[in-house]
């Protein structure tokens, strides 16, 4: 019987991979300067760039349709302890893909996980949340209330 990842570990891994996929290589590198050194890793695949088909659904629940192609870079690495890390990132940044894969592998190590979460993932997530809030405020400032305009006639 194959061993499966417990749901809580799956959720945590999904979260840190989402943060790493949205962070640039420069942002990851700057956070790694304040973190314990990553273990050496061997590349198993890539980094290599290719295309994937992005799909959408009208209204979020309609019939799926092909939105268009998107450039993606993937990388897979293995640590000396045998832990394998994977990463898929949007765009052509091979350094970002390799750093994300190395961090994915290192974050699966219980000895390294707390320090890396504190030094790398949490600050990146906070910066991304702040950027999203700033963009939402900027977009809200341009919102037009059409109901108000209709009653002004």
pLDDT tens column, 97-151: 999 999 999 999 999 999 999 999 999 999 999 999 998 999 888 888 776 555 5
Domain boundaries, the chain: 7-151
pTM: 0.80
Q: Which long-range contacts (CB under 8 A, 24 or more apart) does 8-12 make?
A: none
The DSSP letter of residue 35 is: S
Residues 144 and 152: their CA atoms lie apart, in Å, by 13
Partners of 42 in the beta sheet? 78
Q: What is the pLDDT of residues 32-65, one digit of tens each?
A: 998 989 999 999 998 999 999 999 888 878 889 9
Residues 3 and 88: their CA atoms lie apart, in Å, by 23
């Amino acid at each position: 019987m194959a061993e499966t990842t417990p749901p809580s570990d799956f959720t945590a891994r999904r979260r840190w991979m989402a943060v790493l996929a949205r962070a640039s290589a420069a942002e990851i590198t700057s956070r790694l300067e304040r973190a314990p050194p990553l273990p050496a890793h061997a590349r198993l695949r890539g980094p290599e760039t290719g295309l994937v088909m992005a799909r959408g659904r009208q209204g979020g629940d309609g019939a799926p349709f092909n939105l268009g192609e998107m450039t993606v870079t993937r990388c897979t690495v293995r640590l000396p302890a045998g832990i394998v890390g994977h990463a898929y990132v949007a765009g052509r940044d091979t350094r970002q893909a390799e750093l994300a894969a190395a961090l994915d592998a290192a974050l699966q190590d219980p000895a390294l996980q707390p320090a890396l979460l504190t030094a790398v993932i949490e600050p990146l997530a906070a910066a991304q949340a702040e950027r999203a809030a700033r963009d939402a405020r900027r977009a809200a400032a341009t919102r037009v209330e059409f109901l108000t305009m209709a009653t002004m006639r």
